[in-house]
Structure 1
Amino acid sequence: MLFRMTALTFRPARREDVPLVVGLLNDDAIARSRGVAPDIGPGHWAAFDAIDADPNNELVVAEIDGEVVGTFQLTFIPGLSRNGGERAQIEAVRVAEPYRNQGIGRAMVAWSIDRAKLRGCALVQLTSDKRRTEAHRFYGALGFTASHEGFKLQLS
C-alpha cells in the first residue's frame, strides 16, 4: 500500500484518538503488551489529559486521508545547560504496520525537528530500546548520534 506524501498530515491528538494511539504503541515487537487488545483505562485518560493540558507536551498523530497512520510525542524540556536552551524529546514514534517503510517515520521525525526549531530548541533528543537495532540505523540515517548511555529504574 503506497501513499502520496502530500496526503500525509499532522495534527494534535484528540481524546477520541487515545484508543488508536495506545493500539499503535502496543503493536510493536518489544511492547510489553504485544498482541493484547488495548484496554483503555483511567490511567490512559489521565495521561492524555495531562499531556493535552501541558504546553510543554504535544501528542501528535499522522493521518492519510483522515486515517491515523502514526503517532509520536514531543516534550519540550527547559534546562540551564546549553545556555538555558530548551531541548525537544521525541518519544513513542510508531507507524501502523501497513504503512511502515514508506517514509512516514522519516516525515514524522522531520516534522518534530522543524517544530523544535520553531520553538527555538537548542537540541533534539530521543531514546531507543537497545534491542531496536533497525530503529538505531533509522535514527542514525536521520543524523542522530548515539551520544549517551541511558538508565531506567522501574517503579511499578
Structure 2
Amino acid sequence: MPQPNPLGRTAPATDGAPLAARGNGQDWLVSWHPPGERPAGRAHGANGVCLAGAELVLISHDGVHFGLPGGRPEGDETDLETLCREMREEACVRVAEARLLGHVRSECVAGHELGLVLVRSFWCAEVLVGDWRPAHEVGHRRIVPAAAARDEVREYSDGSARIVARALTEAGLT
C-alpha cells in the first residue's frame, strides 16, 4: 500500500467540477457544491473540520491515514444531527457551533453500485475536546495546529484529496 501524501499544495475542488475518485473497489465522480446548492442524491452523512481554538482534530482507522471525522446518518437524522453524533463517536469531541461549508455529490460510475448518487455535507465545527476513549471503528486521534492542516491531513492524490482541500479552504485553513 502506498504511503499517503499530505495535502500540501493540492488544488481545492472547484464548484460542480467532476473529479475521479476510487473507493471500495469502485470508481466515482465526486464534485463540490456550495451550501445553498445541495445536489440531488441519497443523504450519505457528514464530515467535520473540527477546530478546538487554534487546533484541528483528526482521526484515523490505521494510524497512517489521518483525515476529517465523519459518518453516515442513522434513522431520520438531519445532516447536523449526524455531524454532532459522529464527532462525538469518532473523535470524542462535542460540537459547540457548526457552519455548513458545502456538499459533495458522489456518483458511482463503475462497480457494484453503478449509478448510485450519494450526497455528504461538510461542516466547520467549533468543538470541545473530550478524553480519548475510542468506542467505535476509529482507533487513533491527533490534535494538531490548525495552521498545519494541509501538512497533517493525509489522503490519496485523487478527487477525494481535492474535496478535502476545498473543505479546509472553506473553513479558512488555507
TM range (shorter): under 0.3
* TM-score of the superposed pair, with normalisation by structure 2: 0.22
Greater strand share, structure number:
2
Q: Which has the larger radius of gyration?
A: 1
Q: Which has the higher contact order (CA 8 A, sep 6+)?
A: 2
* TM-score of the superposed pair, with normalisation by structure 1: 0.24
